[in-house]
Structure 1
């Protein structure tokens, strides 16, 4: 089982690890083809990629924060993320045919 954190922000990975989530690989760009059954993917993916992660047997955890507009576009530290209520929430999606 591999845990991927999809983010360009080092502070996000620091935050996740400080919250007890072990991260095997941080990726700035995500190719869903790497996901194998049992893998965990953390980040802020669009719904179509979440569905593909789930279809491949992976589990997706969405990074959610209550970010005020004046903090958008800035590099956040792990402490900043705690201040803004960062959390990882599990989601599952399935493409309808």
Structure 2
């Protein structure tokens, strides 16, 4: 049965996402080997990690926020978090091979 993994260490994000969709497990670091076909990984991952999720035929659901510059690097409380227009957006990401890579 597919699982929904939420990757975050931010309480306001965890609370908000958990209200938007079912979450089976909250983790602070993604072990890509946990991910199986049709699982969903929710969070704000580096692009190369999100591509690995998609390569495993799982869904990548990105937490998008419009954060004012003065709040960057600051832990947002629930009120501030909601002021950043949070939304969950599913992306399908693939890595392009370069000429230098073996095929």
1:39 and 1:29 mapped to 2: Cα distance?
A: 16
Structure 1, unpaired ranges of 5+: none
Between structure 1 and structure 2, the one with the greater Rg is 2
Larger RCO, structures 1/2 (Cα 8 Å, 6+ apart):
1
State whether residues 13 and 23 of structure 1, in contact with CA within 8 Å, keep that contact through their aligned partners in structure 2.
Answer: no
Alpha-carbon distance change, 40 to 78 in structure 1, aligned in 2, over 3 angstroms: farther
Matches within 5 A, 1:54-93: 54-93=54-93
Tell me how many residue pairs correspond in the alignment.
96
Across the aligned residues of Structure 1 and Structure 2, the Cα RMSD in angstroms comes to 1.3
Unaligned runs of 5+ in 2: 98-103
Greater than 4 Å deviation, 4+ residue runs:
none
Give the deviation of 1:48 after TM superposition: 1.1
TM-score, with length taken from structure 1? 0.89
